Amino acid sequence: MTGQARDHGGDLDRARATYGGEDWIDLSTGINPLPYPMPQIPPHALNTLPTATDMGALEQAAASAYGARTGVVALSGAQAAIQLVPRLRPAGTAAVLSPSYNEHAASLAAQGWQVRAAHDLTQMAGADLAVVVNPNNPDGRLWPPEVLARLAGDVGLLVVDESFADPTPHLSLCPQLHDLGERALVLRSFGKFYGLAGLRLGFALGGAKTLEHLRTLSGPWAVSGPAIVAGSAALSDSTWQTETRTRLARDADRLDALAARAGWSLVGGTNLFRTYDTGDAMAARAHLARARIWTRAFPYSAGWLRLGLPGDAAGWNRLEQALAGSGQ
């Protein structure tokens, strides 16, 4: 799989090249459209290298926000962790719960791992490394943390990608990590829930030895000064987090209602994105694209289409009008 281009959301250049226009609404990602308000960035965060003290404060804020009593390593996005995970242990057999975010299998294969797709947790037992995205992207499947904790005892290293877990913190494995030692590693994305994906910030939580190896692999200054400032503020703002969870849940219900009126059936999702069976995903995607609304289709499904949430009244109105005339 080395060298192959991977399919992702967020590719607005492709949308513009195919359909033209500039005033696009990008619903192809699961990023909160109403971001955390950026704090003022002090000059030192831009013109000096980050200090260990600043990084430590950010990682402590993350541990507190995620309810973890274990170590934390800050990285330049959850994607950075996904790229490094295959190098944490000698290449062996890896099981990835599928279908899911394609970078996990691709990154493992690129480092020589023998990767197999697993369709339920029982098929993962015995793997040297197992990957579960919880909640799963794109179908929103969920696994209780106690179930994943038991799975950690049946594999060499369990990697749980919780990039979309912020709206449902009760599903996180983070509070149980201190009991799992080096058997489990949790990855968290900052940019999705807080709507600041361009900062490139994420975290890994797990056993001390695993995290030390990950920190070494990531090199010095893995996180920028502005990301440290914004991340520390946002992760400590419990009021904003609570209000945002409430809003996202309401907006996810609103999107479901619009899709149902268009004749689409809900496959699943999270409160940051929803996936629907449209019957003909490419036709539905093209119809919305003609209204300059970009969505996410999947090469393994003829019907599935994933939509993020619009961010303002104009976006909701345009989507509602487009869906009303979709004929799906």
DSSP string, 109-154: HHTT-EEEEESSGGGGTT-SEEEEESS-TTT-----HHHHHHHHTT
What sign for the dihedral angle of Cα 217, 186, 66, 149? negative
**DSSP states along 277-319:** E-S-HHHHHHHHHHTTEE-EE-TT-SSEEEEE---SHHHHHHH
3-state secondary structure (DSSP) of residue 158: strand
49 to 45, 54, 59, 109, 233: CA distances (angstroms): 7, 10, 17, 34, 19
What pLDDT does residue 240 have? 98
- Would you say 205 and 46 are in contact if contact means Cβ atoms under 8 Å apart? no
Instruction: List the domain boundaries for the chain.
Output: 12-35+239-324, 50-236
Contacts of 224 (CB under 8 A, 6+ apart): 50, 76, 199, 200
What pLDDT does residue 1 have? 35
CATH class of 12-35+239-324: alpha beta
What pLDDT does residue 9 have? 65
What pLDDT does residue 245 have? 98
Q: Helices (H), strands (E): how many in the chain?
A: 13, 13
Q: What is the pLDDT along the chain (328 residues), one digit of tens a residue?
A: 334 456 666 688 989 999 998 899 999 999 999 999 999 999 999 999 999 999 999 999 999 999 999 999 999 999 999 999 999 999 999 999 999 999 999 999 999 999 999 999 999 999 999 999 999 999 999 999 999 999 999 999 999 999 999 999 999 999 999 999 999 999 999 999 999 999 999 999 999 999 999 999 999 999 999 999 999 999 999 999 999 999 999 999 999 999 999 999 999 999 999 999 999 999 999 999 999 999 999 999 999 999 999 999 999 999 999 999 875 4
3-state secondary structure (DSSP) of residue 92: coil
Buried b (16+ CB within 10 A) or exposed e, 210-221: bbebbbebbeee
- Assigned token pair, 310: 């619009």
What H or E segment, with its residue span, contains residue 211? helix 208-218
Phi, psi of 116, deg, nearest 5: -130, 150
198 to 31, 137, 202, 216, 302: CA distances (angstroms): 11, 20, 11, 24, 31
Contacts of 26 (CB under 8 A, 6+ apart): 10, 12, 15, 294, 308
- Would you say 134 and 161 are in contact if contact means Cβ atoms under 8 Å apart? yes
- Assigned token pair, 75: 């990285």
224 to 38, 186, 220, 296: CA distances (angstroms): 14, 22, 11, 30
- Would you say 248 and 167 are in contact if contact means Cβ atoms under 8 Å apart? yes
| Assigned fold of 50-236 | Aspartate Aminotransferase; domain 2 (3.40.640)
What's the CA gap between 272 and 173, in Å, rounded?
19
Q: Which residue has the tokens 């279908």?
A: 99
